[in-house]
Each structure stands twice: as structure tokens, then as C-alpha cells.
């Protein structure tokens, strides 16, 4: 296994419906990989399997050669500190203020950090993401786009080396989307490992080193960004949400 993240014969089923079928793939360290496919193809499920948020029904998922499902508590904490996930629906705690949601990962992974330092990191993260309202609000008081910005800020709070992004520019206006794409570009320049799901061909062309085509729960092809760029037919299918 050469990749920072490796899937070996991974399958996933829920309620007796198989979503992912026998996927074997490698995610290259320090590179940006896009998972693309039609709605319902299983790309978001595959992303969550890569991130260790779902346990495969069959096969194994490895991070730096260690099987995620077999990690002990210390190894799991190290993995969670090194990685972050931006959810399509933001996944903010409904019964907590934004500040409490952003404070939680800091308290969990840096228990000796002072409240003042945590507060400074929170404010720096939301400023970087472009969120401009107060932090005492609960998620229900925000627009979908604002929730996306806070979810992105939460992902940055630990300065992860591995970033998983699920349709993170959806529901944002062009200016906010461009800001988040620019932030991901900065992390790409710093050789972070980034895995993302998107159907926006402009985002894929701007960021991806590799593109994995997900069709019917199977990872069929791993292409370079150049190959996608040169194949207008594939680019059109991605843009139309058909691939």
C-alpha cells in the first residue's frame, strides 16, 4: 500500500442495500483527488469510508498503513487530529452555539490550551472562512450558506494535513465559493492531502491532481486532471451531473 489512504476490496451496505462494491484504490499523499459521479453513485459514501466515518461491510481502509477500524484510542485520536471532514449538510450541533461547536475539537485535542487561545483560534478560523456574524447563534439561525462557512471553519480549526470535502461549495454564492476554493488551493500548495466530492467542473479543474470516476458504487477509473481537461466529453458529463 503506497497511498496515505488505501482501500482494499471495500464494500458498504445499509439496510441490505449495497452502495459500494469491492473498491480498491490509493489516495496519494500531498495530492488533491476528486471523486466524481452521478447522483446516487456512492461518491459521498466512498468519501466517508476514506475518512473512517463509516465502517466498511467488507474489506479494509488503511491510513498510513494502519487499518482504521483496528486502531486503538490513541491512534484514532492522532488520525482525527490530522484529518478533518466538511459535510455536505455542515453537520453543526443543533443544540449548541457556533462557538461551542468550534470549541469542541480544540478542547478534545488540546486540553491544556487556554480559553483565550481557543477563542483566538476560533475567531481566526471563521474570519478566514469568511463568516461575519456572531458566534452565539445556533445553526438554525443561519442560512445554508452560512452554515457551510462555519462547517469549513471548524474543519480548519486543528490545521489538518488531510482534508475531506463533500460538496463544500454548494449553496454558496460565487464569491463565497471562490473564497473557499482559494483556501483549499493554499492548502494544496502546502502539500496537504485533499479528497473532495464535487460536480462543478470548474472546481475540479482548479484543484484536482487526480479524478476518480465513481459509477454504480464502483471506482472505475483514476485519471489525471490533464486527462479530464483534454476530454470534453467527460467534462460535459461531470458538469451535467451524469458522471
Domains with residue ranges and CATH for the chain: 5-239 (3.40.50.300)
Mean pLDDT over residues 18-40, rounded? 93
Give me 172's grid cell.
Answer: 454558496
pLDDT mean over 124-133? 93
pLDDT tens for residues 55-94? Answer: 999 999 999 999 999 999 999 999 999 999 999 888 898 9
Confidence (pLDDT) at 55: 94
Model confidence over 193-226: pLDDT tens digits?
999 998 888 888 889 999 998 988 998 778 887 7
Question: What pLDDT does 50 receive?
Answer: 97
Tens digits of per-residue pLDDT, 182-197?
999 999 999 999 999 9
Residue labelled with grid coordinates 452565539: 136
Instruction: Please give the Cα distance from 158 to 23 (Å, whole number).
Output: 30
pLDDT at 238: 64
> pTM value?
0.92
- Average pLDDT over the chain reads 90
Amino acid at each position: 500500500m503506497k497511498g496515505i489512504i488505501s482501500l482494499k476490496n471495500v464494500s458498504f451496505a445499509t439496510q441490505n442495500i449495497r452502495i459500494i462494491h469491492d473498491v480498491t484504490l490509493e489516495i496519494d499523499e500531498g495530492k488533491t483527488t476528486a471523486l466524481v459521479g452521478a447522483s446516487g453513485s456512492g461518491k459521498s459514501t466512498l468519501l466517508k469510508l476514506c475518512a473512517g466515518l463509516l465502517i466498511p461491510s467488507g474489506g479494509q481502509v488503511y491510513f498510513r498503513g494502519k487499518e482504521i477500524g483496528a486502531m486503538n484510542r490513541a491512534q484514532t485520536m492522532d488520525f482525527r487530529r490530522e484529518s478533518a471532514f466538511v459535510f455536505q449538510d455542515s453537520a453543526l450541533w443543533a443544540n449548541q452555539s457556533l462557538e461551542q461547536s468550534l470549541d469542541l475539537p480544540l478542547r478534545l485535542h488540546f486540553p491544556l490550551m487556554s480559553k483565550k487561545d481557543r477563542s483566538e483560534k476560533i475567531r481566526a478560523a471563521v474570519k478566514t472562512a469568511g463568516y461575519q456574524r456572531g458566534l452565539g447563534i445556533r445553526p438554525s439561525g443561519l442560512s445554508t450558506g452560512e452554515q457551510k462557512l462555519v462547517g469549513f471553519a471548524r474543519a480548519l480549526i486543528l490545521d489538518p494535513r488531510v482534508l475531506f470535502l463533500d460538496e463544500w461549495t454548494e449553496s454558496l454564492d460565487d464569491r463565497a465559493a471562490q473564497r473557499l476554493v482559494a483556501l483549499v488551493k493554499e492548502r494544496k500548495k502546502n502539500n496537504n492531502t485533499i479528497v473532495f466530492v464535487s460536480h462543478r467542473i470548474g472546481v475540479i479543474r482548479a484543484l484536482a491532481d487526480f479524478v476518480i470516476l465513481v459509477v454504480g458504487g464502483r471506482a472505475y477509473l483514476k485519471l489525471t486532471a490533464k486527462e479530464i481537461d483534454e476530454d470534453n466529453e467527460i467534462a460535459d458529463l461531470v458538469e451535467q451531473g451524469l458522471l
